[in-house]
Chains A and B, each alone.
Chain A
Amino acid sequence: MQRFANPGRFMRLSSRVMPWCGAGASIGLAVGLYLALLVAPPDYQQGEAVRIMFVHVPAAWMASFVYAFLALASAVALIWRHPLADIAAQAAAPLGAGFTLLCLVTGSLWGEPMWGTWWVWDARLTSVLVLFFLYVGYIAVVNGFDDPTRGARAGAVLALVGVVNLPIIKFSVDWWNTLHQPASVFRVGGPTIDRSMLVPLLIMAVAFMLYFATLLMLRMRTAIVASRVRAARLGEIEVIPEPQGGHQAAGSVT
Chain B
Amino acid sequence: MMDALDHFLAMGGYARFVWPAYALAVLVLAAMAVQSYCAWRRQQALWSAFEATRPQRRR
Contacts and interface: CB of A to CB of B under 8 A. Distances in A.
Interface of A: 29, 33, 37-38, 42, 47-49, 51-52, 55-56, 59, 94-95, 98-99, 101-102, 105-106, 109-110, 112-113, 211, 215, 218-219, 221-222, 225-226, 228-229, 232-233, 238-239, 241, 244, 246
B59 A241 contact: yes
Nearest to B20: A109
A106 B12 contact: no
A113 B28 contact: no
Contact of B39 (A33, A48, A219): A219
28 contacts: A37-B8, A48-B11, A48-B13, A49-B17, A51-B18, A51-B22, A55-B22, A59-B25, A98-B29, A98-B31, A101-B28, A102-B28, A106-B21, A109-B21, A110-B17, A215-B33, A215-B36, A219-B36, A219-B39, A222-B39, A222-B40, A222-B43, A225-B44, A225-B47, A229-B50, A232-B50, A244-B59, A246-B59
B42 to A, nearest CB: 8
Contact of A94 (B8, B17, B18, B32): B32
Contacts of A241: 57-59
A241 B57 CA distance: 8
Nearest to B38: A222
Contacts of A106: 21, 24-25
Given A219-B36, A221-B40, A229-B43, A55 B25 contact: yes
B26 to A, nearest CB: 9
> Majority SS of interface residues in chain B?
helix
Contacts of A98: 28-29, 31-32
Given A102-B25, A105-B24, A218-B37, A42 B57 contact: no
A52 B36 contact: no
Interface residues of B, number: 31
B46 interface: yes
Contacts of A215: 32-33, 36
A111 to B, nearest CB: 9
A49 B50 contact: no
A113 B40 contact: no
A102 B40 CA distance: 24
Closest 9 CB pairs of A and B: A48-B12, A48-B11, A49-B14, A55-B25, A47-B12, A225-B43, A106-B21, A222-B40, A109-B21
Contacts of B44: 225
Contacts of B25: 55, 59, 102, 106
A48 B25 CA distance: 17
B24 A102 contact: yes
Nearest to A91: B36
A105 B22 CA distance: 11
Nearest to B42: A222
Given A55-B21, A219-B36, A228-B47, 10 more contacts: A51-B22, A102-B24, A105-B24, A106-B21, A110-B17, A211-B33, A215-B32, A215-B36, A222-B39, A241-B58
